[in-house]
Structure 1
């Protein structure tokens, strides 16, 4: 360890020891004079233990449903008698289905077994598992585990969605234990529900508050090997004065089962609004998602309010559509906050908030309590910041953030020449986004959570990790371990590849978090010619000569043709849409075999990511326009009124000179022709797309 590294580590340890005593993180006072909700000030550099208490039936359903979904899959067929006697199983129904579907042949049934069947039909007897198994083994060639596999559909295993209003919660912080007799407890997150370690939502009922918080979010941070990106982002947003959530950490138990280490944060709900704006029991929070509007597609977060009849939101959209200048926008929309978010997005490398997504992980708050009626944008979900997926540190604001298809960007002229953007970048960098501050902050947090990460990512004697559910499909992100944490919090890039049918269909690249901080800072200083001399002392150290390492990880799935799914077993099973290799048996996807496909459907090549991920074909016409970019950055088009995926090969065909290193123009403004049509956007040459030509 060089001297500077040792000094940084020493300073971090000193900070932690001091702050453990005073229980307040000095980072917020030193760099922003910020006061947060009491819960987060009380849990600075302390890790509370949250225990969720479920009744026996709900506890069994929660844990057993995942195990049974796996054990009853033909891929992983395993005898598990708990699955055959679970609360959701009706053995009487199962026996009747076996008879009606002729899975068992009772043409020569014995008198004793005939009496059993008659008593079941008369609803005078409940079949036991031993009786059921005897019927299966006597009158069929099935084993018990085979007949209970998904394709035969003897039972409906509960959905992997879980929610209860009947839980209670203990919150233990040091020697104090706070009890809440009723909480709503459910799975949380969106795409992260696919991973083995799940996230959770907690809503304290009956007016209860936990140090100013009613809604709690426990996030597993599966996609982030460093476990620090989201915590860092919320801290920084608070310090620079954006309306932000707050975050710390917690350990979770469900009954007596340890579930692991989590990010603990609040949520954009009514209590957050009351804490930050003073409005009680607000009905003015809107969650934004996909839709037809080019800027915001939102619905009221209160399920009892029909957005189609919401006059306030309708008026907002009308004002947005009519606005022709910044002055028009400022009459109803918090323009300054919107611009501040964009500057922060650029520095932090925000991946999940692309405006052409559209509206990914965004809320709006309609502030009606001040004199000026105002709509305020709110961003959340930052586990893919600081070099996660988006890894190009040397891109300008215009290249990375400016969206020519978004009216807000064009009206406000949010590009590299905008003096307000340039001023904000300088302000944020001098205040907090510089390696002198952030490298120290990374080390400080890393030292604090390291033992908890080790606990969370170290298998037990049976090879199991806490809080992980066995699933039929495993993501490469499920494999991030303790060593990945240690390395990715420094300068080690993680390259994680996911394979399907032995074809690489997804690669995630995650820079070391310190590399992003240093390289983005250096690029912005150099490109925009900012005076960054305040950071000179950092770059005079050996830290400036860091070495970038790389860890490569791969995950390949088993199943039919390596797809992660089972092969279809019934000869009569057909393609679900008449075109693909996919069928459905027992409410589960399965892969059709050659015998089940009259005219064999050729599996798409490795470039057709949309088919491999979602069974949606790729676009065929090279002139097909990009209609949408989703939250993963994947591009979608439309052909014959059906969605299709744009591939790398097709994207080369979007414009004549993409393959030679030029980007495709967004618009069709031709300024030069040398045999090819050219435009200029953001001060750079771009190739006019084929779609600009009349078809």
Structure 2
């Protein structure tokens, strides 16, 4: 019995060491909470809470499509100053006069709402002044955006960071949220190692069909220089007169651009640059070179393509979009995309190099299936708590009763281990990864075996040649709690969570192992 206990303890240590080791090579300020779930508590007065609930009653058709003519930025925000308590492992940090406001645009039509935080004065959390809390209620895996951001961090691509947290407003449990930083002036200074007193004047946010054509408008993010558009206009003019990728390289980070294109292709992004001209920043660095910075990864890996095709393009997507080509994505909207045509359509060499690199260093079934199981084992008790309904039948944190009902169960999360699809419009996470990886190899003439072999070498592993054919198609052993029944009380779940934060596995994992 002692021997079994020792072996089990060693296994637990390995599981959670792997969880944090995944990002140990990155320069993330969020690494201090990787493998942990802090608690964030916001204090509102009764009147403020009532106002929050009233303002968040948003219905997509009535309030956004009709009321805002499709532009969700017209929605009224709730905003106030609050006391915020950050708690982890029994230690508390208290922040006062934190600006607390509703966050997101079209996601405001969900039943669970996101929030934006801005710390006061010189206060920082994870070396950041601005923090976002997002519920991603449509993602029943509770990990799509986490996997996306972690990959970008591993690839050393300028991007936001993301981890998990539990949100409480007053004493009310609001559920499992994602905590992330956000691209603002402070973020630019930290990411690009600029002086604290440096004025950031050339950061532009693009969110409306902006394909970097002359006439496109992207917003300067510095309130003091909001009308300073000359650098961005000059960028568009230089793109317009360019004829080759060599021309583009003179003023733009083409290596980063190609990696961004590869990411959009592999992730099946419909809400970024190639398809929508949306959710990205353009930043002119100190050396005058422009970087494209992608943000918002809440509907990746095939999760939003079916809806986008049906309601925006008014057509059906074939086979979950597994085989959407780059040209398919480029021509979904009849909008000129000169920089795409120059850097991809004319010559795919740079793109193929970037694509192959990120497939080897992260986007492949062998690496991601393992990561999915690690995350699943870690967040399982938190998801169990977050999917335990309130007395009214709705999930914790649901305040927009007019919004889209995203009620789901722990069992909906538990099937993240399964490759087979069980939804007509959204592929399973593993199914998307496997099929998109295989299509990328097919489309660009990559040897799948060679990619997986190099990927194993990159991870410091040796791939068994005899198992290589099945390594990316076999379903991973489920480390789940599907065998547990009638164990959903918050008190019992909280005990599991405490064990998880102290480096322990959930009861379900222990049950399967023993």
TM-score norm. by structure 1 comes to 0.56
What is aligned with 1:25?
Answer: 20
For residues 43-442 of structure 1, the aligned pairs below 5 Å read 43-63=33-53, 161-164=77-80, 166-279=81-194, 280=196, 281-290=199-208, 295=213, 296-307=216-227, 309-357=228-276, 359-368=277-286, 372-390=287-305, 391-400=320-329, 405-414=336-345, 418-442=348-372
Unaligned runs of 5+ residues in structure 1 are 1-8, 74-158, 497-508, 548-695
When residues 311 and 14 of structure 1 are mapped into structure 2, their CA distance, relative to the original with a 3 A threshold, is same
Q: 1:412 to 1:26 in 2, by over 3 A?
A: same
Give how far 1:312 is off: 2.4
Which whole-Å deviations, capped at 9, do the CAs of 1:131-157 have from their partners, x for residues lacking one?
xxxxxxxxxxxxxxxxxxxxxxxxxxx
On the 8 A contact 1:229/1:385 being kept in 2, the answer is yes
- Secondary structure of the 1:262 match is strand
Pairwise CA RMSD? 3.0
Distance in 2, Cα, partners of 1:17 & 1:310: 48
> Once the two structures are superposed, what CA deviation does each residue of 1:201-246 show, in whole Å capped at 9, x if it has no partner?
1111111111311111111111212111100001111112211111
**1: distance between equivalents of 2:407 and 2:392?**
16
Classify the secondary structure of the residue corresponding to 1:258: strand
Distance 1:12 1:521, change over 3 A: farther
**Could you tell me which of 480, 486, 491 is aligned with 2:408?**
480
Separation (CA, whole Å) in 2 of partners of 1:470 and 1:364 = 34
Over 3 Å counting, the alpha-carbon distance change for 1:343 and 1:464 in structure 2 is closer
- What's 2:27 paired with? 35
Cα distance in 1 between the residues matched to 2:139 and 2:191: 29
Query: 1:530, CA displacement in angstroms?
Result: 1.8
* Higher normalized strand content (fraction of residues): 1
Distance 1:160 1:455, change over 3 A: farther
For the Cα contact (< 8 Å) 1:12–1:443, is it kept in 2?
A: no
Misfit runs of 4+, over 6 Å? 9-12
Instruction: State the shift of 1:264 in Å.
Output: 0.9
- Aligned match for 1:456, one of 383, 386, 393: 386
Secondary structure at 1:221 match in 2: coil
Distance between the aligned counterparts of 1:331 and 1:522, measured in 2? 34
Please name the residue that 1:514 is paired with.
Answer: 430
Report the alpha carbon displacement of residue 389 of structure 1 after superposing the two structures with TM.
3.1
Change (3 A) 1:320 1:60: same
SS in 1 for 2:321: coil
Instruction: Please say if residues 291 and 297 of structure 1, whose CA atoms lie closer than 8 Å, have aligned partners that are also in contact.
Output: no
Task: Give the 3 Å change call, closer, same or farther, for CA 459–538 of structure 1 in structure 2.
Answer: farther
Structure in which a larger fraction of residues adopt helix: 2
Aligned match of 1:590: none
| Shift in Å, 1:289 | 1.9
Secondary structure of 1:350's aligned partner: coil
SS at match of 1:205: coil
* Alignment partners' CA distance in 1, 2:421 and 2:224: 46
Question: What whole-Å deviation, never above 9, does each CA across 1:526-549 have from its counterpart, x for those lacking one?
Answer: 3433233253566545872559xx
Give 1 or 2 for the bigger CA radius of gyration.
1
Could you report, residue by residue, the CA deviation over 1:379-423 in whole angstroms, capped at 9, with x for unpaired residues?
A: 0111211121332223433334578830001222347x6122222
Contact residue 42 and residue 170 of structure 2 kept, 8 A? yes
Do the aligned residues in 2 keep the contact of 1:343 with 1:421 (CA within 8 Å)?
yes
2:56, 2:113 within 8 Å by CA — same for their partners in 1?
A: no
Q: What TM-score do the two structures reach when normalised by structure 2?
A: 0.75
1:471 is aligned to 401
CA shift, 1:290, in A, is 1.8
Counting only pairs closer than 5 Å after superposition, residues 599-678 of structure 1 correspond to structure 2 as none
> Which position in structure 2 is the counterpart of 1:597?
none
Aligned length: 421
Q: Distance in 2 between matches of 1:523 and 1:289?
A: 29
After superposition, the Cα gap between the structure-2 partners of 1:537 and 1:205, relative to the gap in structure 1 and judged at 3 Å, is farther
Contact 2:210 2:217 in 1 (8 A): yes
Q: Deviations over 1:240-272 (max 9, x none)?
A: 221111111000111222111101111001221
1:402–1:242 CA distance, 2 compared to 1 (3 A): farther
Residues 286 and 456 of structure 1: is their aligned pair in 2 closer, same or farther, counting only changes over 3 Å? same
Q: Is the 8 A contact 2:210 2:278 kept in 1?
A: no
Q: Secondary structure at the match of 1:260?
A: strand
1:45: how far off?
0.7
CA distance in 2, matches of 1:471, 1:322: 51
1:183–1:205 CA contact under 8 A, matched in 2: yes
Aligned-pair distance for 1:314? Answer: 3.0
Distance 1:541 1:328, change over 3 A: closer
Q: Partners of 1:10 and 1:395 in 2: how far apart?
A: 45
Higher RCO (C-alpha under 8 Å, 6+ residues apart)? 2
How many angstroms does 1:25 deviate by?
A: 1.6
